[in-house]
Amino acid sequence: MPSSSTDQTLAVQVVDSMERMSGKHPGYRRSSARGACFRATFTPSGAAAVLTTAAHLQARTVAATVRFSNSEGNPHTPDTAPVTRGMATRFHLHDGSDTDLVALTVPRFVASTPGEFLLLTEALRPDPVTHQPDLARVHAFVGAHPHLAEAVAQQPPIPVSYASAAFWAIHAFIWVDVAGVRRPVRYRWEPEAGRTELTAAEAATRTAHYLTDELHQRLEHAPVAFKLRIQLAEPDDATHDPSTVWPDHRKEITAGRLEITAPADDQDPWNTQAFNPTRVTSGIQLSDDPVLAFRAHAYAESHLRRSRNQ
Ligand code: HEM
């Protein structure tokens, strides 16, 4: 991936700002700090094979590792909080390489560019007295960036279970077929258990780690499955803005089925790993979305700091 010193400088500024927003928690990811990893397999349906040469979307089942997380940068944020949740999937390809798909429980991102994200994290910095964000600053940010109003106002569901939430990879990616034809797509994990969520009152009766505990209990009885749904762009659909979505009626296909079978044997090695949404494989390319390209730099900066126990 091309890298520039501008991106790296901005990544340092963004990660500094994320630390001011969520507090500094040495050794933890600067976002999605608390999570747990699970073993899985992914079986392609074959429907994507005519659209991309990506190895895991052809015919053979591949092993995968999934990390579910609470998206907050503070590892002590309880699962009962109305925040987004993460689902990071690493597909272990038969040639020994990996490719990642990183997703959240909302379809839109809260910024169209890395610079906007920096401004938003600064607006969300807690007031030193109340320890809460100053809503006037958030409103001022939205007032200055009205195209982000819908994305910032999204209410993430409080899921009954990680197994009953949909997860969007948000950005457009480009699929390339065997003839070199390029097609923009968007990914969504759709839970086979259906989407179910808690009210705030119901959530208040759950424990701080109920989502991870529930998933462990559920897996003692049966695997948990998700369909990988792919939305196909039409010619004029923009690919550069992760705060926008394509119309719901765009054609979709099911590219495959993920089956989560058990907790990962050892969580520790996974805590030192970094998922990376730009870790694509042959047959998949990054779109022109500047946030997608920038994430590689921000994640590397976060990984560097936590690997030094900072
Ligand atoms: C400017 C945009 C963004 C920035 C700066 C950012 C920043 C970060 C950082 C610093 C981490 C921790 C990385 C690590 O230490 O390994 C992280 C993790 C994560 N981010 Fe983002 N993020 C951005 C956009 C997004 C978007 C658009 C999504 C969803 C599509 C997303 C989903 C996640 C998830 C699920 C994780 C946890 C990954 C894991 O389990 O290791 N982020 N993000």
Residue 212: name the closest of 104, 79, 58 by CA. Answer: 79
**Distance between Cα 31 and ligand 1 center (Å):** 6
Q: Is the pLDDT of residue 205 over 60?
A: yes
Q: Is the pLDDT of residue 239 over 80?
A: yes
Confidence of residue 5 (pLDDT cuts 50, 70, 90): confident
- For β-strands 85-92 and 98-104, DSSP reports them as antiparallel
Using CA atoms, how far apart are residues 246 and 156, in angstroms rounded to an integer? 19
- For β-strands 224-232 and 197-198, DSSP reports them as unpaired
Confidence of residue 3 (pLDDT cuts 50, 70, 90): low
Looking at residue 155, its pLDDT comes to 95
Tell me, what amino acid is at 10? L
Contacts 24+ apart (CB under 8 A), 117-120: 117/14, 117/291, 118/10, 118/13, 118/14, 118/17, 119/145, 120/148, 120/152
**Distance between Cα 179 and ligand 1 center (Å):** 33
Q: Where are the domains of the chain?
A: 5-307
Chain segment 79-129, per-residue pLDDT in tens: 999 999 999 999 999 999 999 999 999 999 999 999 999 999 999 999 988
CATH 2.130.10.10 fits 5-307, yes or no: no
Q: Quick one: which H or E segment has residue 99?
A: strand 98-104
Mutate to test the pocket of ligand 1, among 121, 211, 295, 306 (most ligand atoms within 8 A of CB): 295
Pocket of ligand 1 from Cβ distances under 6 Å: 14-15, 29-32, 35, 67, 69, 86, 88, 102-104, 109, 114, 117, 169-170, 242, 274-275, 291, 294-295, 298-299, 302-303, 306
Looking at residue 111, its pLDDT comes to 98
Q: Is the pLDDT of residue 1 over 60?
A: no
Residue 44: name the closest of 29, 60, 33 by CA. Answer: 60
